[in-house]
Structure 1
Amino acid sequence: MPAMPENVPEPVVKLVRWTAEPAAVQILRSATAAVIAYVVAVWLLPNPAPLTAPLTALLVVQVTLYSTLTTGISRVNAVVAGVLVAVGFSALVGLSWWSLGLIIVTSLLIGRFVKAGDFEIEVAISAMLVLGVTQVAHTAWDRVFETLIGALVGLLFNALAPPVWVQSAGESIESMARRMGGLFRDIGGEVAGHLPVERAAARLHEARRLDHDIAEVDASLRQAEDSLRWNPRVREGALSRIVLRTGLDTLEICAVVLRVLSRTLTDLAKHRTTEHLFPDDVSDQLEQLMDHIAHAIESFAVLITSQVTANAQAAEDRLGQALSDSTESRDTIARLLLATVQEHPRQWQLYGALLAEVDRILDELGLEKRSERLVEELDRIGGEPSDRHPRLAMIKRRLTATGLYRHAPDVRKIFK
């Protein structure tokens, strides 16, 4: 988004930024589709207030073209089935407490029969609404036509310029990576001197809460993946999904290792109730190591979400430097801990576990590991990728031949 002039009032700036958000765009799209459906229904049908048409359009226009097409068909199927149930009941019984219960049960059963899926309840809702209106037979068919008009407008409207939610998913991934990086820095700042068990346990609980963040990011990513399916605005939607999904998988593994690392420090703090957790020289190196790892995680998140190749290259350079610095600090810590264990062998296994956990994180963030996962996902697509996905096959060959992510610029250009 371009920078705003300095003399623009703050409320105007906030309004412009809000209208650029995906949620705001979706609100405007839904409202516009509903209004268009209402106008079309008024023009085509004799009903003076065809509100079913805008209602259906509002429900059909989902956040992605893929979900619009899939849910639109199911929703129309559910509404039409409910209307037909109401037409049949109106010819036999009137509206009473027992007929209402009977029509609900019948509608829900028919909803399962016609495979309405998540919209089974709308079969009963449509039947009740139609049954409660006078002149049921005439109104019912008007409702069917209104439903078809609303669904058609919703489908066509969302097919014109289907939204792409990759940016919001990328922002969620980067935000989670920054939270992880902040937690690594907090841990690094507390290893010097005496670490109370309560404080170590508090960091462990913070690391466990990352599961909730990962679940939210995963939901945002699934929405982005749906927005790439069948989207004419995206040339290589499958490749985009692979890059983001494998990146989130890597960060999720790092979050798991972070929890284990926090548990290791907590266990170590239980045995160091009155003394320093580490010698001073080790704690200084550990603080630097945690800072380097935090930089690596944040750079990795920027790398997999960058929309401009130059930004991705800069993030890759920062990631490589952070991993190099981390490896150097890790080796220094290993030598220092070895000398410490030889002098004071208490809880030596926790020192080894700490180093193993650091090694796992550095391995997961490595560029070579990243290339391997991309190749695995490209293979997992199955079939004959050279025929079905020629561009994916080309990138896979390049990744396989070089083994380096930096030699696959097409992966970084897909968001342009």
Structure 2
Amino acid sequence: MRDAKEPVAELVKRRRHPAVVQAMRSTAAATIAYAVALQLSSEPVPLTAPLTALLVVQVTLYATLTTGIRRVNAVVAGVLIAIAFSALVGLSWWSLGMIILASLAAGHLVKVHEFIPEVAISAMLVLGVTRVANTAWDRVLETLIGAGVGLLFNFLFAPPVWVRTASEHIEDLARRLQDLLQRIGAELGNHTPIDRAAARLHEARRLDNDVARVDAALRQAEDSLRLNPRVKEGKLHRVVLRTGLDTLEICTVVVRVVTRTLTDLAKHRTAEPLFAPDVADVLAELFDHVADAVASFAVLVTTQVNTDAQDAEDRLAGTLEAADASRARAAVRLLDCVRRDPRQWQLHGALLAEIDRILDELDMEHRTTRLMEELDRTTREGHRRFPRLRRLVRL
């Protein structure tokens, strides 16, 4: 029975995947745009309309608006250039080169960004037909139809908010970091060959790829919150997730430094454990608490956009308190260890400093300060970005 349910659950999960959602929405919008263009355009096959709708409809409403405006600008600029060239020189090999160069330059001037090639493509398609003027304006009409259908489609059927997807990516990154810290702590009392220590270092480095994937998912979530009628306090949600990822990214970097420190220590302890048993035990306990604190921090970050934030905050505070107590005991044991055996004392100090950096990044007061600073920064940027709109609102 359980095996029979797994394919169904997997299918439902795939239906909610951003790529699947975008494919379904783009297909519906393109089909509607073609049907509308058949009624309004004089072209027998008005494919420009569904093509425009296909490119305009994105996963988020914010991306749809910005993409639609840029695409319409690109097509109109290309059409106007084609009309001008057809009236002056016609189509030849040298005029084709001139129109491509002029179109690409115009694309930079009108700031259509990724649609700069579309300016040249539109100009060439219009210039290559016999009835340039009629075809040109039909192409503009079809482009407006496609862009209008795409924008209207997203207004009537608001795109989903991808905050949950981004939160799952953040939690997954924290779990990977937690698992690595726990395994590092469990090996401190054993003899660690240099190849095993190096493997932990490479594993920590690979976490950078996970950070990049989480960042991409978070950018999509941030776009889905902008201008979305479903969302209240979208700015707060964006700031909470973004600052949370920034903190986890710093922790990832510090963990990589920790594995570098332990690798250097393993080079000198080729026939003995990295630490004496009494030191290894307290360090293992410290690493466990730090790992739990990382996981609790991720839960707090993702819970603040849903419910039960106070429980998550209390859990993180308790975990950090236990980590601080364990850190104090580890400092005493490490100092005693260095007094007994001063070899590589600087690596012992570096390891403790790196743990301190992680705990400082996860500290509740530190996080509150960063949240306030980021909220202030984004508010100031918003005021600078739309000064005229702000003045109108005040009036």
Structural mapping, 1:309-324, within 5 Å: 309-310=307-308, 312-324=309-321
Q: Distance in 2 between matches of 1:74 and 1:66?
A: 13
**Distance in 2 (alpha carbons) for counterparts of 1:73 and 1:384:** 22
Shift of 1:9: 4.9
User: Residue 10 and residue 203 in structure 1: after superposition, are their counterparts in 2 closer, same or farther (change >3 A)?
Assistant: closer
Deviation of 1:85 (Å): 1.8
Match of 1:258 in 2: 255
Pairing of 1:93-172 with structure 2 (within 5 A)? 93-160=89-156, 161-172=158-169
Matching residue within 345, 348, 353 for 2:345: 348
Q: Does 1:294 align with 2:291?
A: yes
Question: 2-side partners of 1:8 and 1:201: how far apart?
Answer: 43
Q: Which runs of 5+ in 2 are unaligned?
A: 383-395
Over 3 Å counting, the alpha-carbon distance change for 1:373 and 1:119 in structure 2 is same
Instruction: Give 2:103's aligned amino acid.
Output: S
Aligned pairs, number:
380
Give distance in 1, aligned partners of 2:257 and 2:145: 56
Q: Find the partner of 1:23 among 19, 22, 38.
A: 19
Deviation at 1:362, TM superposition (A): 1.1
Q: What is the alpha-carbon distance in structure 1 between the residues aligned to residue 57 and residue 5 of structure 2?
A: 34
Following the alignment from structure 1 to structure 2, what is the Cα–Cα distance between the partners of residues 349 and 277? 14
Considering only aligned residues, what root-mean-square deviation do their CA atoms show, in Å?
2.2
Q: 1:248 aligns with which of 241, 245, 266?
A: 245
Residue deviations 1:278-299, cap 9 Å, x none?
0012212222222221221112
Q: Is 2:281 aligned against 1:284?
A: yes
Does residue 354 of structure 2 align to residue 357 of structure 1? yes
Output the CA distance in 2 between the equivalents of 1:92 and 1:371: 64
SS in structure 2 opposite 1:309?
Answer: coil
Tell me which residue corresponds to 1:210.
Answer: 207
Task: Please give the secondary structure, in 1, of the residue aligned with 2:45.
Answer: coil
8 Å Cα contact 2:279/2:337 also seen in 1: no
State the alpha-carbon separation in 1 of the partners of residues 59 and 84 from structure 2: 35
Distance in 1 between residues matched to 2:53 and 2:178, nearest whole Å = 43
Kindly indicate whether residue 333 of structure 2 is the aligned counterpart of residue 336 of structure 1.
Answer: yes
1:33 has 2:24 as partner: no
Report % sequence identity: 66
Give 1:97's aligned amino acid: W
Equivalent residue number for residue 410 of structure 1: none
- 1:209 aligned counterpart, secondary structure: helix
Q: Does the residue aligned with 2:32 lie in a helix, a strand or coil?
A: helix
Distance 2:78 2:53 in 1: 17
Amino acid at match of 2:102: T
2:270 aligned with 1:273: yes
1:63 aligns to what SS in structure 2?
coil
More displaced 10-residue stretch of structure 1: 264-273 or 50-59: 264-273
Deviations 1:29-88 (A, max 9, x none): 111111111111112222221110011011111222222212211110001111222223
Residues 382 and 88 of structure 1: is their aligned pair in 2 closer, same or farther, counting only changes over 3 Å? Answer: closer
Q: Does 1:57 align with 2:53?
A: yes
Q: Cα distance, 1:325 vs. partner?
A: 2.5
State which of 181, 184, 187 in structure 2 corresponds to 1:187. Answer: 184
Residue 42 of structure 2 aligns to a residue whose secondary structure is coil
Unmatched 5+ residue regions in structure 1?
386-416
